[in-house]
Structure 1
Amino acid sequence: MDFARTATWATAIKNLNPDNDLSVPLSDFLRRGQHFAEFCAFSLRESSLCDFLGEACKCAAAACNAPMAKVLQLGKSANRLTVIAQWGMGHDVVGSDAGLAEEGNPPGQALVEGTPVVVPDLSEWPDARVPELLRRFDVTTSINLPLIGRSGPFGILEVDYPQAYQVGPVEISFLAAVASVAAEGIELMSQREALTVQRDLKEVLLREQQHRIRNNFQSIANLLSINAVKTKDDAARRGFQSVERRVFALASMYDHLLGLHEQRDEVDLSRYLGSLCDDLQQFYALKEQGISLHCNRRLGMTVDLNTCTTVGTVVNELVANAIEHAFPDGVGRIEVALTSNREGSVEICVGDNGRGTRVEQCNGTGLQTARQLVTHVGGTLTLQSDPGKGALWTISLPSKGHSAA
């Protein structure tokens, strides 16, 4: 049993001395059992703390033949009680002051003494410390049970009657059961709220870190671009541009996969390739060069994060290679296609209608790295090309690397 539930139950019944000859009508027993069962069932649902405690008030009042009940919360800084849930009193009561947690105030005294406080007749109680809220509703008999959590008292479950009502062990024991379930629910919801706050804080910090990393990528790319323009050495310029292209690929991948869009183990590869092609269009200013880049993909295909990262790096390299070498006249077409075959393997094809190439000519550092990356995820990278007939690169991935969304 949860600590809050155990502590609340023990506090409520520690001074209870029922008569051995005490009997309860079967109809009352069944009625209270029905209300309590409904409350327990409600406690298992997803609900707000206000709705959950409102249900506790409803159960307590209905089962004890009371027209009204409420839950009071003890302030963390001020020693003051406030209504946070009610039944039979009207929603405007929520937020009302219920006095200090001190002797003389019935709910406050229950917290101070750590035991239920039953006031048979409030007219005989010292008037100076009776909360205005009790007078406003002409309360005569009031029952107050402490709600105890792991970090201390949370507040009070209070049941009130406008007329004198005989309160006995049966009522107290039943309300103890309701209060213990309520205390357990409060504890669980408080823990869940604390975890949510921590999660939200971590998300804010992660988002801030992501923005900084994106900015760093952009700064590096800008520096490389500036140095490429300044240098008079053609080989150095090509080196700067090559590194800039790879930094761009990393930035694009990071933005899509690790940014706000994808934070899951499985990534929608079709969406990512579409986004990557759009970024490549802008990065290389392809329209101005007379080169068209098309992305044909089967939607809803997902792969793990590592595979998607590999595909993005390799496709970026293949598209860049086509832009730089396939079109000596500066005009052409590149197509990126995503499909799957009958065996369930994923195929990503990068083709162009350029001048073509030979396999033995494809030994540059970038293409060698691309082959190694594809092999590392269990795939293959193959080339089909003839001089003057374009080139078609195919990345084949095993079926275990993807799933249908």
Structure 2
Amino acid sequence: MSISPSHPKGPELLPLSQRSEELAYRLRQQEALAGFALFALQATELDLLLQEACRVSANGLGSELSKVLEYRPEDDKFLLRAGVGWRPGLVGHALVGSDIASAAGYAFRTGEAVISSHLGAAAAEGEDRFRASQIMVEHGVRRAINVPIRGREWSYGVLEVDSPQENKFTQADITFLGGVANILGVAMERIRMERAVQESEEGFRTLANSIPQLAWMADPSGAVYWYNDRWFEYTGSTLDEMRGWGWRAVHHPDHVEGVVERIRHAFETGENWEDTFPLRGRDGEYRWFLSRALPVRDADGRILRWFGTGTDVTRQREAEERSQLMTQEVSHRVKNSLALVASLLGLQSRSTASAEARQALEDAYARVQTIAQIHDRLWRQYDAESVDLCGFLNDLCRKLQETAVEHRLEFHGHPVMISIDRAISLGLLLNEIVTNAFKYAYPEGGGGPVQVRLSAKGGQLRLKVTDLGVGLPADFDLSKNRRSLGSRLIVNTARQLQAQVEAGPNTPSGARFTVTMPIQPA
């Protein structure tokens, strides 16, 4: 490849008139390059950008012909994508070879600019490195200059200027045309990226419009710029009314400040957001919506936009409220019934003459009271399926302490969730063990300490009850102590829980009961 100067002598050796002419020519190229850069910065249509690049290139090099050749990998050829000076029907349709034997193919595959001179001339003076395409022959092209069009990670094709004149292109001409091609490549990459973002946005909007929830999108700062059709159908609002932070107008005045505070925190930290609040519909009525939003990020983790949805949960909330009311009513009646049973047992114990019968009735009274306390504790919580066992047993121990002020009952534990049914059974089991400690650990009166510890590890619960009293009899065997109702209750309850209960001496004195059971039943 050779690059020939426009004159046999260097520009500095030319006569003054020719040097002035050369300078003016290069200044016109620089002005054309600056003008094209401004056009490319604002261009949004690829076809217009390519056509303008051809026009600027031809004018800048004083030629009648120029073209953009787009490489088509499926054909391994160039498509004459844009151009000036070519006969009708060629631009957008003509295909030419892209192999390295052509100047355009060489420039595309090597990334180097190429000057070709004396194309179509006699063999003695003609261009012997590259062949001329049939299109160039038809238009009498005698010289050409090709520069590659590239982006950061892709190659588009070639920008080419052709001329039927015998003059030669120079290194300065390559610099000019290379500048046009570089600006073109950057602008094409920008248009590609903007188009990809636009297509992604349009796809996002189409998807968001197809879902039954209210949906919206906000910029990285949290200003909403788009809502789906469901939003406008429900609220009866317009985009101009809702744009930015206008959505606050359809929020309930009792909730809007809290919603703004929580969602603003999410926008500032980039955290996912979830909240439930009432929104006013076009009919003026408020309905409850579960709303969520998450940030959409680019490959570098920067937030591009926020996408949020709102799901109408009014019926669910109403159903939950009705269920709670029914639960409260049923629980109130059960509590009253248990209280009546306890009162009858208490009355009967006071009227019986038999000490043994009185003790049995008092034990039954205590157990009914325990069941009533457990029931009262559980129905108050929202989740009807599981309970924090630590808090539940701590409340139970506090109630038991109130019935035996001469003792000091301490509870220690860590939070662990367990089903309601298992919590109730374990509560009854703990009640029996603690009540027995109150009765038998300190027979001389005055009371003493009783400790309850709850721990969980590896899917297993461990409940340990210890005292510092007189300890268990030497021949004590919980499984064989069938005469005691309490012992039978402990054994049977443990069997229901798939639990093991071990009884033994405590250190330095007293008794120790350890209950081990799986958190989830087998």
Superposition TM-score, scaled by structure 1 size: 0.52
In structure 2, what is the equivalent of residue 296 of structure 1? 412
1:356 to 467, 471, 480: 471
**CA distance, structure 1, for counterparts of residue 239 and residue 368 of structure 2:** 62
Deviation at 1:59, TM superposition (A): 6.2
Deviation at 1:155, TM superposition (A): 9.7
In structure 2, what is the equivalent of residue 229 of structure 1? 350
Q: Is the 8 Å Cα contact of residues 210 and 259 (structure 1) preserved in structure 2?
A: no
Q: Is the 8 Å Cα contact of residues 216 and 228 (structure 2) preserved in structure 1?
A: no
The question of 1:337 aligning with 2:453 is answered yes
Report sequence identity in percent.
Answer: 19
The question of 1:325 aligning with 2:440 is answered yes
In structure 2, what is the equivalent of residue 84 of structure 1? 236
User: What is the root-mean-square deviation in Å for CA atoms of aligned residues?
Assistant: 4.4
Judging by fraction of residues, say which structure has more helix.
Answer: 1
Aligned residues: 259
**CA distance, structure 1, for counterparts of residue 520 and residue 331 of structure 2:** 30
Secondary structure in 2 aligned to 1:88? helix
In structure 1, what is the equivalent of residue 290 of structure 2? none
Q: Is the 8 Å Cα contact of residues 464 and 513 (structure 2) preserved in structure 1?
A: yes
Q: Which amino acid aligns with 1:207?
A: Q
Deviation at 1:280, TM superposition (A): 0.6
**CA distance, structure 1, for counterparts of residue 459 and residue 499 of structure 2:** 13
Q: Which amino acid aligns with 1:210?
A: S
1:193 to 305, 314, 335: 314
Deviation at 1:293, TM superposition (A): 0.8
CA pair 86-326 structure 1, distance change in 2 beyond 3 A: same
1:312 to 419, 424, 427: 427
2:499 to 379, 383, 400: 379
What per-residue deviation string (whole Å, max 9, x for no partner) do you get for residues 322-341 of structure 1?
21222212222211111346
Q: Is the 8 Å Cα contact of residues 57 and 86 (structure 1) preserved in structure 2?
A: no
**CA distance, structure 2, for counterparts of residue 257 and residue 317 of structure 1:** 19
Secondary structure in 1 aligned to 2:469? coil
CA pair 200-226 structure 1, distance change in 2 beyond 3 A: same
CA pair 378-189 structure 1, distance change in 2 beyond 3 A: closer
**CA distance, structure 1, for counterparts of residue 467 and residue 433 of structure 2:** 10
**CA distance, structure 2, for counterparts of residue 44 and residue 247 of structure 1:** 57
Q: Which amino acid aligns with 1:295?
A: F
Deviation at 1:365, TM superposition (A): 1.7
Q: Is the 8 Å Cα contact of residues 39 and 56 (structure 1) preserved in structure 2?
A: no
Q: Whose radius of gyration is greater, 1 or 2?
A: 2
Secondary structure in 2 aligned to 1:346? strand
CA pair 235-196 structure 1, distance change in 2 beyond 3 A: same
**CA distance, structure 1, for counterparts of residue 520 and residue 366 of structure 2:** 30
CA pair 35-294 structure 1, distance change in 2 beyond 3 A: closer
Superposition TM-score, scaled by structure 2 size: 0.41
Q: Which amino acid aligns with 2:238?
A: Q
In structure 2, what is the equivalent of residue 397 of structure 1? 517
Q: Which amino acid aligns with 1:323?
A: F
Q: Is the 8 Å Cα contact of residues 281 and 293 (structure 1) preserved in structure 2?
A: yes
Unaligned runs of 5+ in 2: 1-195, 218-223, 251-280, 284-309
Unaligned runs of 5+ in 1: 1-29, 61-69, 74-82, 96-153, 157-187
**CA distance, structure 2, for counterparts of residue 38 and residue 399 of structure 1:** 44
What per-residue deviation string (whole Å, max 9, x for no partner) do you get for residues 246-286 of structure 1?
11221222223343255234x3222221111001112x1x2
Alignment of 1:140-151 (within 5 A): none
